[in-house]
Chain A
Amino acid sequence: AQTVTQSQPEMSVQEAETVTLSCTYDTSESDYYLFWYKQPPSRQMILVIRQEAYKQQNATENRFSVNFQKAAKSFSLKISDSQLGDAAMYFCAYRSGHTGKLIFGQGTTLQVKP
């Protein structure tokens, strides 16, 4: 079975600084997708970034980028120039390319200090 682990329950960053959230996963599948989702206090699930397993190039979306290390099964999220609006819970997620099943890590609460 696949698993997703986020080992940082809470992180803090100063406004305008850079922070990296960690995520590791375990799978024996070769076809899968990885995601980072943001969940503000409203509980809405907002897609931040996605990465296809077969793509070696790290995905980037504006201030958000990932470091995808396939051999190490690591998928970290880097937030540059952190803003107050980035404060939220962040979830790493794995989606199987075979079954479509989507599973999440435990989440990391990000605090942004002004």
Chain B
Amino acid sequence: NAGVTQTPKFQVLKTGQSMTLQCAQDMNHEYMSWYRQDPGMGLRLIHYSVGAGITDQGEVPNGYNVSRSTTEDFPLRLLSAAPSQTSVYFCASSYSEGYSSGNTIYFGEGSWLTVV
């Protein structure tokens, strides 16, 4: 997973604080996405993007903002952190052409976020 870099790896926030999880890829992938993983819930899609300037909501977008100003970066912003946002966050990217060809999807190593 060397191609998708997530930072920070660990973060503790206080309720109400804001922060940004960074995701960068150097593979010129058009498609990038953010997931959160909670026990018993699997990976749930927060937001995704199919190219610079284009973003869309996933399954659980509330409380999170994204933007895609460059192909390489897809930051996830928590505007006012809540304990319910304590989770492990994963960024993923892939080429967007020919989705149905099953292009390889690359995942970051995860970011552990705790909101107290």
A78 at the interface (CB under 8 A from B): no
Nearest residue, chain B, Cβ from A6: B42
Q: A47-B104, A52-B101 are in contact. Are A100 and B88 (CB under 8 A)?
A: no
Contact assessment for B104 and A31 in the assembled complex, using a CB-CB cutoff below 8 Å? no
B102 at the interface (CB under 8 A from A): yes
Kindly provide the distance from the CB of A110 to the nearest chain B CB, expressed in whole angstroms. 14
Top 7 A-B pairs, shortest CB-CB distance:
A97-B100, A45-B107, A106-B42, A104-B43, A50-B102, A33-B102, A107-B42
Considering the complex, which residues of chain B in the window 35-71 have a beta carbon less than 8 Å from any beta carbon of chain A? 35, 37, 40-45, 48, 50, 56, 58-59
A102 at the interface (CB under 8 A from B): yes
A62 at the interface (CB under 8 A from B): no
Question: CA–CA, A104 to B105, complex, Å?
Answer: 13
A103 at the interface (CB under 8 A from B): yes
B75 at the interface (CB under 8 A from A): no
Contact assessment for B45 and A103 in the assembled complex, using a CB-CB cutoff below 8 Å? yes
Q: A31-B100, A50-B102 are in contact. Are A44 and B1 (CB under 8 A)?
A: yes
Partner of A44 from B59, B94, B99, B109 at Cβ < 8 Å: B109
Contact assessment for B99 and A95 in the assembled complex, using a CB-CB cutoff below 8 Å? yes
Contact assessment for B50 and A43 in the assembled complex, using a CB-CB cutoff below 8 Å? no
Using a Cβ–Cβ cut-off of 8 Å, how many residues does chain B contribute to the interface with A?
30
Chain A interface residues toward B at CB < 8 A: 6, 9, 31-33, 35, 43-45, 47, 50, 52-54, 91, 95-107
Partner of B102 from A95, A96, A99, A106 at Cβ < 8 Å: A95
Kindly provide the distance from the CB of B58 to the nearest chain A CB, expressed in whole angstroms. 7
Partner of B41 from A47, A96, A106 at Cβ < 8 Å: A106
Task: Give 19 A-B contacts (CB < 8 Å), ordered by A residue.
Answer: A44-B1, A44-B109, A47-B105, A52-B100, A52-B102, A91-B43, A95-B99, A100-B31, A101-B45, A101-B48, A102-B45, A102-B92, A103-B59, A104-B35, A104-B43, A104-B44, A106-B40, A107-B40, A107-B42
Question: CA–CA, A35 to B107, complex, Å?
Answer: 14
Of the listed residues B41, B90, B99, the one surrounded by the most CB atoms of chain A closer than 10 A to its CB is: B99
